[in-house]
């Protein structure tokens, strides 16, 4: 296995994850169809998922998880820290897109800095 394979996979993963995050935001959270369906008193499982996602956005859960992982990634050495930074980035990108940019900015910056840090 090449040493650059995880980096190449990460560079392919980031734009796809960003696109998926925007699809969730504009296709599920802000879509007038879902707002109308979920505002009626209909028990649809999609509305439960939308409500739970709304609570995670309100309480900034994704952003705080990402920030915790990013701080932990800066403290953990070698590959384990690198993979923690990948997880922090995976939590930080949707947090940026889903209305919690104030905390998620620090998550993405810290995770990005950890990803480019040279390991000894």
The whole-angstrom distance between residue 12's C-alpha and the CA centroid of its chain comes to: 15
Question: 7 and 82 in contact (C-beta within 8 Å)?
Answer: no
* More confidently predicted of 1 and 85: 85
For 31, phi then psi, to 5°, come to -70, 125
For residue 120, the model assigns a pLDDT of 62
| Relative orientation angle of helices 45-58 and 32-39, to the nearest 10 degrees | 110
Taking only the tens place, the pLDDT of each residue in 15-55 is: 999 999 999 999 888 888 888 888 876 688 888 888 899 89
d(CA 64, CA 100): 10
DSSP summary character for residue 25: I
């Amino acid at each position: 296995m090449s040493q650059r394979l995880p980096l190449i996979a990460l560079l392919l993963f980031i734009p796809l994850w960003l696109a998926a995050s925007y699809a969730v935001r504009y296709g599920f959270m802000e879509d007038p169809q879902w707002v109308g369906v979920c505002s009626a008193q209909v028990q649809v499982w999609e509305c439960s998922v939308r409500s739970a996602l709304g609570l995670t956005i309100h309480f900034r859960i994704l952003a705080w998880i990402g920030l915790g992982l990013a701080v932990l990634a800066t403290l953990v050495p070698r590959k384990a820290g690198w993979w923690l930074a990948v997880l922090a980035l995976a939590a930080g990108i949707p947090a940026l897109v889903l209305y919690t940019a104030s905390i998620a900015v620090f998550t993405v910056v810290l995770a990005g800095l950890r990803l480019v840090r040279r390991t000894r």
